[in-house]
Amino acid sequence: MPQPTPSDVHVNTPLTSISVAFMQDQSEFIADKVFPALPVTKQSDRYFVYDKANWFRAKAQKRAPSTESAGGGFTLNANPTYFADVYAFHKDVDDDTRANADAAIDVDRDATEFVTRDLMLKKKLTWAARYFAPSIWTGSSTGGDVTPGVLWNTGGSTPIEDMRTQLRSIKRKTGFRGNKIAMGDEVWDILQDHPDFLERIKYTQTAIVTTGLLAAVLGVDQVLIGGAIQNISIEGAADDLQFVFGNDVLICYAPPRPGLLTPTGGYTFMWGARVGGSTRILRFRMEHLKSDRIEGEMSYDQKLVAAEMGAFLLNVV
């Protein structure tokens, strides 16, 4: 054997320019992109909801000379409330681990990323439970969840018309056409190759289905693809990675920003008046553990405001 050997002249050390961590891209988290975020000063409070019926009746009448005009009014519901729960998570960094860490490891940075990503995933899961689930929305043509007669991964299916039908239904029930569509990767993968779309865009510059082209075809502001993954197994067991969004589609109306006399399918109430704001990352000493604690908090309530401003397409593929 030739001397010296490669192992004699080089000792493996961690690279300082790369490391491997399975962190999901923030673009996969769409919880803050569908419904507006509304900063609030109190953890809980009420908000007003105007009755819909009286705003869609034409009550004006012809008026004869010297007679009173026709009159009317509307009601206000002050019962709806929100409550911004506080979600928290931490990771401890002990003194021995910090002292023994190689140059490629920044234990405080990694702990901060770990805590932040956990809180982001929790917010996404809460969003999916509040909005992206069966038996929530009533704006569809049936008043409930809709499953296409022909599934979209089947020949002869018409996903464009299926979604347009629900867009029209929301408009008919509320006066506002749905302007946002959210779906998971599984549905988006089918739609990208679907002839119903390809036929409509074959003369465009790219001739490739993008979310922007899909939004243009359907006449909506935004198509959002939720690709977040969660591990549903308990710690220590084999990984069981699942898409947060399955094979469903949410069509809804949401304004660009919150405001008075502004309808919306939902709001995210962000309790920003608490010390540090609605989202904060803290580092403090845990002397009895000989560790520094990296702790994150988010305070919010993802609230369904108007169920008729959304339609849920269930099991489309």
Contact 179, 36 (CB under 8 A): no
Collapse the DSSP code of 125 into the 3-class scheme (helix H, G, I; strand E, B; otherwise coil) and give the result: helix
Amino acid at 44: S
**Average model confidence (pLDDT) across the chain:** 87
Quote the percentage of the chain above a pLDDT of 70.
Answer: 88
Q: Would you place residue 17 in the very low, low, confident or very high pLDDT band (cuts 50, 70, 90)?
A: very low
Mean pLDDT of 74-89: 91
Q: Is 216 exposed, middle or buried (0-12, 13-18, 19+ CB in 10 A)?
A: middle
Predicted confidence (pLDDT) per residue in 107-118, tens digit: 989 999 999 989
Predicted confidence (pLDDT) per residue in 20-38, tens digit: 445 455 556 687 899 999 9
Q: Would you place residue 275 in the very low, low, confident or very high pLDDT band (cuts 50, 70, 90)?
A: low
Which positions ≥6 away from 222 have C-beta within 8 Å? 33, 179, 180, 181, 211, 215
pTM > 0.95: yes or no: no
Q: Would you place residue 277 in the very low, low, confident or very high pLDDT band (cuts 50, 70, 90)?
A: confident
The dihedral region occupied by 180, where left means phi > 0, alpha psi between -120 and 50, and beta the remainder, is beta
Mean pLDDT of 57-68: 87
* Lowest-pLDDT range of 113-117, 207-211, 213-217, 263-267: 207-211
Domains of the chain (ranges; CATH) run 22-42+90-313 (3.90.1690.10)
